[in-house]
Structure 1
């Protein structure tokens, strides 16, 4: 589905009144963040003010991951504050008269940044993306229920893995460290994420033509 089709799909969801929350799930490196940012921009340009709120803002800080013994698995489902993310989604649906602040994630320091993203009262659509939006493990089914729709971003694995290694290198790992991290951490997560894609309301080939 091309850009116009995606925008029109969200417009139909918004016709029902209330704020729309669109989630984008997918494997690491599939292009979820790029798709979410572009979708929010396209919706705003089409007269539906939208804000991109990434799930990555709910990464647990490295100091907490180290305390829990999970730093070497950063990116796995239990390295996120999933309950905090759920609470924010519920606020975003219910608290439309005031600005709600959401955290972002700074890849330069690999840490979440609190209160970095304002979602003002006039926001009609919130676009959020994350690996585990379709997971069956608690509390992710409740995260799924808090969203209007959840889409799945698909990308050819060869392209996705190349992109993923390149991203890890860009943010400080050596090529060998990046390749090992992708093999030992990202791809086991990807296998679990891929198994959930049948639960999506829409599947999008991110590598296809005319996708935002």
Structure 2
């Protein structure tokens, strides 16, 4: 996470390590100390405490299958999964806290896109979710694959779509391709042409082309 936060390899610049860790500690970020299978009531109680005492407004649970463990029969696992998702849904509604739940999909053929139905036990998970985001990784036989983020469900207004992604090995982060960011920035400059001076337009173009 420090690599992602600093957008660089701190092991290659150890003199900057302390400065970046100091900045990282200032982030409003807290970690639960749970690992492996956990009782859902204990987890939700901890999340309620974080909301009330720490002012937390967004909880990320990574991931559903890991939290459930592996020692249950198939039918029992589906029931347990539905109970966990229902508990998170009630928590989000009651506390006003956003919950992002990571769910690993089942295996699909390399030439097929993931769908909402690819989510294990997808009925309860997709119904309760306000938004479903799928990280697509299309492997191509002839060359590099394509990665993009797909908005598969949007309860707010129904708008769905995809966002192309590039992976940066240096920072271990995904972002939109530089070309796409440049086009978006240039379009914004063009749309606001009457409000931006030519010098500012040029600076904005350089910024868009130089971001990565």
Please give the TM-score of this superposition, normalised by the length of structure 2.
Answer: 0.26
Normalising by structure 1, what TM-score? 0.26
Give the structure, 1 or 2, with the largest relative contact order (CA under 8 Å, sep 6 or more): 1
